[in-house]
Amino acid sequence: MANADFTWTVPADHPAFAGHFPGRPIVPGVVLLDQAILFAEQTLGRPAICWQVGNAKFFSPVGPGEILVFSLQERSNGGIAFTVRAGERDVASGSLTPPAA
């Protein structure tokens, strides 16, 4: 089973900031999930078109320019457990399941 850490710096000009939220931009949870899926595909070494989100929890807002570390752990069922941190701060966690082969 594979474990991997990925670092992602939130682009200050990310298109999700356009309306989320004026005056105080915050990364939407779906953007964090999208990044977790991209990193899961890299960890497993294969694309999965229809990931299922087993669960997702969002603990702390993320703003432009923050450096996030996505830690992924492959599970015995082929899924991925992930955590997201900004420094010492927990940002999100969850699990992803790829479609059956």
Q: What are the residues facing 94 on neighbouring strands?
A: 56, 82
Sheet with 89-97: strands ordered across: 3-9, 67-74, 80-86, 89-97, 52-58
What are the structural domain ranges in the chain?
3-13+25-97
20 is catalytic: yes
Which entry of 8, 14, 16, 20 is annotated as an active-site residue?
20
User: What dihedral angle (degrees, nearest 10) is formed by the CA atoms of 48, 34, 8, 46?
Assistant: 0
Selected from 3.20.20.70, 3.10.129.10, 3.40.50.150, 1.10.645.10, the CATH number assigned to the domain covering 3-13+25-97 reads: 3.10.129.10
Q: Which of 54, 47, 50, 45 is nearest to 77 (CA)?
A: 54
The pLDDT profile of the chain, 101 residues, written as one tens digit per residue, is 689 999 999 999 999 998 888 889 999 999 999 999 999 988 888 787 788 999 999 999 999 999 999 999 999 888 899 999 999 999 999 999 877 65
Q: What is the pTM of this model?
A: 0.92
DSSP class of 3: E
Count of all residues that appear for the chain in the document: 101
Query: What's the 3-state SS for 25-78?
Result: CCCCHHHHHHHHHHHHHHHHCCCCCCCEEEEEEECCCCCCCCEEEEEEEECCCC
